[in-house]
Amino acid sequence: MSKTVLLAGGAGYIGSHTAIELLNKDFDVVIADCHYNSSPIVYERLEEITGQKIKHYDIDVADMQAMRQVFEENKIEAVIDFAGYKAVGESVQKPLMYYENNLNTTFSLLHLMKEYNVANIIFSSSATVYGMENQSPLVESMRLGPCTNPYGWTKLMNEQILMDEAKSNTNLSVVLLRYFNPIGAHASGRIGEDPKGIPNNLMPYIAQVASGKLQQLSVFGDDYDTHDGTGVRDYIHVVDLAKAHVLAVDYAAGRKGSDVFNIGTGVGYSVLDMVKAFEKVNSLTIPYKIAPRRAGDIATCYADSTKAKELLGWEAEKNLEDMCRDTWNWQKGNPEGYR
């Protein structure tokens, strides 16, 4: 019998791609999502891609009473916790909303997992937990924080909460995945990243400049200590990232306690590298101007993902060309996202 994985907040960018990879590996998938930052249209698209019906509950993961129905009606083997707000700037404006939601979603899941004897949880963490002081390549054993914004703190706090819970509840297996910079989209071009309003992140911004929705990219700083002065990041294809979740579900099932993995390619590209690659792969021009640095940014951030390779058997397979092509393929076909 197939094992069922609950994707909490699973209708979003990373969750939707993970649903496909789980279904490809014969897991059953249940999604719980209140669509604060995702569209229900994603279910139709997932059904179109996979040929399977997607079981979903349109409820708030933080609402434990409502979520009880999901645990009651499904024999859940593992939970993947994608349910969090993720806009850095907004988290600075609305810290209470971020702490409240991002922690309560995880609390709700942990309580229900205990009540229904669900042993395995994978958590969406972020490279942001390494703070500003560590030198890349970033290794899991490095000291964490301080974070520069409430969003980052919620990731760090949730990591701690999950690790503490795994110490006390010896039935529990926790896997923390620290994502670097996910970009790209499913090869079908039917699902992808659909940011609310003006994108904060580089790749969706470039994609919207390419489509003519936005006029010009602002490159935040060209005087960093990097090969061309612009910020360097570890961009990872969302499908590679999705596959890491499938491996993490298998890994969690075989053990107890907690473990943490960087999920990045180990290669850093600058903002201008990304602009040039996007232009070349898609044969178009991205107008840009150099702008002041953005507060809270660091020069360079990339992963050492040796641990994920050794223990999860995971490695990024897609390259920069794939990431640029697939981002544009999604944007071109869905200029207004899912709307």
Q: Which residues are catalytically annotated?
A: 151
Site string for ligand UD1, 183-202 (x = CB under 6 A): -----------------xxx
Tell me which residues in 62-121 interact with ligand UD1 (CB under 6 A): 88
Nearer to ligand UD1, 189 or 231 (CB): 231
Q: How many residues bind ligand UD1 (CB under 6 A)?
A: 20
Taking the complex as a whole, how short is the minimal distance between the CB of residue 38 and ligand UD1, in angstroms? 15
Nearer to ligand UD1, 69 or 135 (CB): 135
**Of residues 227, 255, 280, 294, which one binds ligand UD1 by CB under 6 A?**
294
**Of residues 107, 220, 253, 307, which one binds ligand UD1 by CB under 6 A?**
220
Q: What is the dihedral of CA 205, 80, 21, 252, to 10 degrees?
A: 130
E strand residue ranges, the chain: 4-8, 28-32, 55-57, 76-81, 120-126, 173-179, 181-183, 217-220, 232-233, 235-237, 257-263, 269-270, 288-291, 300-301
CB 337 within 8 A of CB 194: yes
128 touches ligand UD1 (CB under 6 A): yes
Tell me which residues in 166-185 interact with ligand UD1 (CB under 6 A): 181
Task: Count CA within 13 A, CB hemisphere, residue 218.
Answer: 10
In 10 A of CB 159, how many CB atoms?
Answer: 21
158 touches ligand UD1 (CB under 6 A): no
CA-CA distance, 101 to 327, in Å (whole number)? 29
Stretch that binds ligand UD1, among 55-63, 70-78, 113-121, 215-223 (CB under 6 A): 215-223
CA-CA distance, 129 to 98, in Å (whole number)? 16
Residues contributing to the site for ligand UD1 (CB under 6 A): 88, 126, 128, 152, 181, 200-202, 205, 217-220, 231, 233, 271, 294, 296-297, 301
